[in-house]
Amino acid sequence: KNLEENPRMSGIAHACGFVGQTFRGDCFVGRVYDDTEDEWRRIDFSLEDVRADAPWVLATKKQRSNRSSSDMGALANMAGMKNAGNINSSAM
């Protein structure tokens, strides 16, 4: 598919330190709580949470500053994705 770039999602990724990463088409961002035992639930994710100065964005950017730009590809490989630049619903 030749989907248009999603500038909002790409901007969030860039603010988090994933410079050069682009996202295309519709994207979903959410937050969950998982105690790695038996509790898993969705948590509110407000418009304030998508600001470039949101605490989670700043923390992620700080973590990213010590990593390479290829980490997103490494993460995709760990998840079993064959082409991280072309993920679609059938790959999930």
Predicted pLDDT of residue 1: 79
Q: How far apart are CA 48 and CA 19, in angstroms?
A: 22
pTM over 0.85: no
Indicate the SS3 state at residue 72.
Answer: helix
CB count in 10 Å sphere of residue 50:
16
| Amino acid (one-letter) located at 77 | N
Predicted pLDDT of residue 39: 94
List, for residues 24-76, the tens digit of each pLDDT value: 999 998 889 999 999 999 999 899 998 999 999 999 999 888 775 456 666 66
Predicted pLDDT of residue 7: 94
List, for residues 71-89, the tens digit of each pLDDT value: 666 666 666 665 555 555 4
